[in-house]
Structure 1
Amino acid sequence: MIDAVAEHTAAVTKDGALYSTGWDRYGNLGLIPEKFSIVEISGGSRHTMALTNDGMFYGWGWNKFGQVGVVDNVDHCSQVLFKFSHDQKGVHVSCGWRHTLVH
């Protein structure tokens, strides 16, 4: 699976490994210190979100508008867990320039 957006490209292999390339000014390429089994990715202009096989969402990159899913509005160079209001799991993620939609 590949997602190419304005400033970077992210690709996931069949075994769930992530590879990314492009402009990394905001950390949108991600420094993933641990292996996740990623089943879906989506890139915004300067951020990336990933859905893992256990239904968890992780994001990294530009977070000025909270689009990575944490409330600090700080850019993140490594993954942070997207917080749902309840113990929910996700099935799909889609990113835009300044926003992320999860479902």
Structure 2
Amino acid sequence: MNNADREIEILTNATLLAGAILNAEVSKREAMLPKLKVLENEAKATQLDVHKNLKRLVIMTVNAAIRYCSSGKQSDAKLTRRNGNEVAKELGRLKRLAHRKGCD
């Protein structure tokens, strides 16, 4: 697995876990929170320029999910969902770009 694939995996997993936390029961949320914080740190450590916008969106998504876990505010849940949708769009854009360049 090369660096780009590893970074995409980290960013994807962080986004998926942030989304899963929204639907989890309170007890499971507390168990998932440490893993989400680890993924947040890994996402911040990604370095490839092509993932810069995606990295920003993922970090915003994860931060909103963490705030939701601590505050329970629905506005943070809504922000997590909105940013998660933006992450999905960016992942799709990067996949199409890679496919066009023959790197798929």
Both structures adopt the same fold (TM-score exceeding 0.5): no
Q: Larger RCO: Structure 1 or Structure 2 (Cα < 8 Å, ≥ 6 residues apart)? A: 2
More strand by share: 1
The normalised TM-score by structure 1 is 0.28
What's the TM-score once normalised by structure 2's chain length? 0.28
Rg larger for: 2
